[in-house]
Amino acid sequence: MTELGDAVVQLLRSHRSIRKFTDEPVSDELCDTVIGAGFAAATSSNLQGTTVIRVRDAATRAAIAEVAGGQTWVEEAGAFFVWCADLARSARACEIGGGDFHAGATEHFLIAAVDCALAAQNAVVAAEAHGLGICYIGGIRNDPARLTELLELPEQVMPMFGLCLGWPDQDPALKPRLPLSVTLKDERYDTGGDDDGIGGYDEQMRAYYLERTGGKLDRVWSADMSALLGKESRPHMRGYLDGQGLATH
């Protein structure tokens, strides 16, 4: 590996979510640099199905923080963005090109959603390379209709997640990840050894949470997944997608 390669890998492996920021502003120039790097990410069929909305208004940020379950760092971060999967722009381009837009195709929505995630992660790497801290805010999907109203989103556009950017005012420990023996397969989906790998990871996560909370939280990954996947989650999403003309067939 090269020196640059080593540095990039180290940057990627040092990612943490930051939820406490200093009061130092993030310049518009740096924001443009970061978001511009995001848009350099791969995009399927050159769809470029991502639109980013920077939210500066304090009242709007407060409303978004409330939707997200009281995540106050939405209000406190130096900059806050909402990342949207966007088929409205490409639908218009389709019409300009003399075609008829085929609304509601699930595959088209998936392309835009993947585009959005790829672009955001590119931006996150650029932000962290400049010393910024970030925190994704998936909680905006608690009420995407409210975000659609607040940001005046047209049909064929969905708010996927928020992104806080700011100068870190905390230094949290790295959260362990599942071992490659569980997540990297060779030739086929072989689950042999996965249970042992998950068991070992549970113990890593228990130690992580106990240290992070001063012994107050004894929690493991498998129990987290049981709590997350053992019940219905955001049942309003199907109706919201229908209302936005997305993923109907």
CB crowding 34-51: b at 16 or more within 10 Å, else e:
bbebbeebebeeebbbbb
Nearest alpha carbon to residue 36 among 88, 81, 85: 81
Q: What percent of the chain has pLDDT over 90?
A: 100
pLDDT at 200 over 80: yes
> If you average pLDDT over residues 166-187, what whole number do you get?
97
Q: Is the dihedral of CA 138, 133, 31, 36 positive or negative?
A: negative
- Position 1 scores a pLDDT of 74
Give the confidence band of 245 by pLDDT, cuts at 50, 70, 90.
very high
97-118 residue pLDDT tens: 999 999 999 999 999 999 999 9
- Position 79 scores a pLDDT of 98
Beta bridge partners of 84: 51, 159
24-74 residue pLDDT tens: 999 999 999 999 999 999 999 999 999 999 999 999 999 999 999 999 999
CA–CA distance, 162 with 126 (Å, rounded to integer): 17
Q: How far is CA 43 from CA 39, 47, 112, 119, 242, in A?
A: 9, 6, 9, 8, 24
> What pTM did the predictor assign?
0.96
> If you average pLDDT over residues 156-180, what whole number do you get?
97
Averaged pLDDT of the chain: 97
- Position 211 scores a pLDDT of 95
Q: Is 99 in contact with 240 (CB distance < 8 Å)?
A: no
What region, left, alpha or beta, does residue 208 occupy, with left being phi > 0 and alpha being psi -120 to 50 degrees? alpha
Q: How far is CA 196 from CA 72, 79, 93, 176, in A?
A: 38, 42, 51, 16
pLDDT at 95 over 80: yes
